[in-house]
Amino acid sequence: MNLTVNGVSHEVGSSELTPLLDVLRLEVGVTGPKAGCHQGGCGACTVLIDGEPRRSCLLPAGYAEGTAITTVEGIGSPEDLAPIQQAFVHYYAAQCGFCTSGMMLAAQAYLDRGGSGDPEAIQHALGGHVCRCTGYSKIIDAVAAAARGDSFDLTTTAVGKHTTMSNGGAA
């Protein structure tokens, strides 16, 4: 089986039914996608398949053959951060960081679809992602800022806006 991960082609020996998450982490050596639940519930393993967010823990690796697989490592580097990565740093949207890569890839797909800074639309786009640290408001602030096309000063952090959520913040 041949998988294209972040633009690089990898020959892998796992069976086509092995979850893509395990192939990426154990065979390809890409550890950005996390095993939070291994049952499609938390979103931490999210990768982009041809630009669409997918749960790699539920996806048989064979399904991803011939597609462009993008992990968090593929959207930017420490020296050249993507706007969504800058936004997450500036808005303190990552606390422990474990959900962050999946959260950012869902956000990247949302931005690529031309998503707006509307908090409700962002909530909907990130709805399947669990974060236990932040309370979500900083994450929504970050995605909204990236959607607006803001530029980010990474020598400081934003003053939290504490985005009011449609359900009163009890996400």
Partner 1 sequence: MKVVGARIPRYDGVAHVTGRTTYVDDVSVPGTLWAKALRSPHHHAGITQLDTTKAESMPGVHAVITWKDVPLLEYGHLSALGIPADEPLLAKDDVRYLGQPIALVAAESEALASAAVDAIEVAFEERPALLDVRQAFDAESPKIHHWGNWYPHFEGEMDRRQIRKGDIDWAFENADTIVQGVYRPAAIEHAPVETQVCQVVPEPDGRLTIYSCTQALYFSLGVVAAHLQQPLNRFKLVGGTTGGGFGGKVDTATETMTCLLVMKANRPVKWRWTREEEFLCSSTRAPWHMELATAVSKDGWILGQKMLTLHDSGAYARFSPYGLTKHSFHHTGAYSIPNLHFDGYVVFTNRTPTTAMRGFGVTSVSFAVETHMNRIANELGIDQVEIRMKNANRIGDTSPNGVAYTDPSTIDTLKAIADAIGHELPADYRTMTNEPRAGELLPEHLVSQVGSTEGH
Determine, following the binding rule CB under 8 A, whether residue 15 of this chain makes contact with partner 1: no
Smallest separation, CB 106 to partner 1 (Å): 14
Rounded distance between C-alpha atoms, residue 83 and residue 110, angstroms: 13
* Minimum CB distance to partner 1, residue 84 (Å): 8
Dig out the tokens for 150 from the structure. 């803001």
In the block, tokens 């690529």 appear at 112
Kindly tell me which residue out of 154, 162, 164, 169 binds partner 1, with binding defined by CB under 8 A. Answer: 154
Task: Find the shortest distance in angstroms from Cβ 89 to partner 1.
Answer: 4
Site for partner 1 in 30-59 (CB under 8 A): 30-32, 34-39, 41-42, 44
The token pair at 135 is 């309370």
| Window 48-107: residues binding partner 1 (CB under 8 A) | 71-73, 76-78, 81, 85, 88-90, 92, 94, 96-101, 104
Measured from the CB of residue 57, what is the shortest distance to partner 1 in angstroms? 10
Q: Which CB atom, from 3 or from 28, has the smaller least distance to partner 1? A: 28
3-state SS, residue 33: coil
Which tokens is 83 given?
Answer: 């706007």
Binding mask 104-143 for partner 1 (x = CB under 8 A): x-------------------------xxxx----------
Q: Where are the beta strands (DSSP E) in 12-86?
A: 46-49, 52-55, 68-70
Burial readout 122-140 (b: 16 or more C-beta within 10 A, e: otherwise): bbebbeebbbeebebbbbb
End-to-end CA distance of the chain: 40
In angstroms, the CA 168 to CA 159 distance is 20
User: Which residues are paired to 53 by β-bridges?
Assistant: 48
Binding-site ranges for partner 1 (CB under 8 A): 25, 29-32, 34-39, 41-42, 44, 71-73, 76-78, 81, 85, 88-90, 92, 94, 96-101, 104, 130-133, 154-159
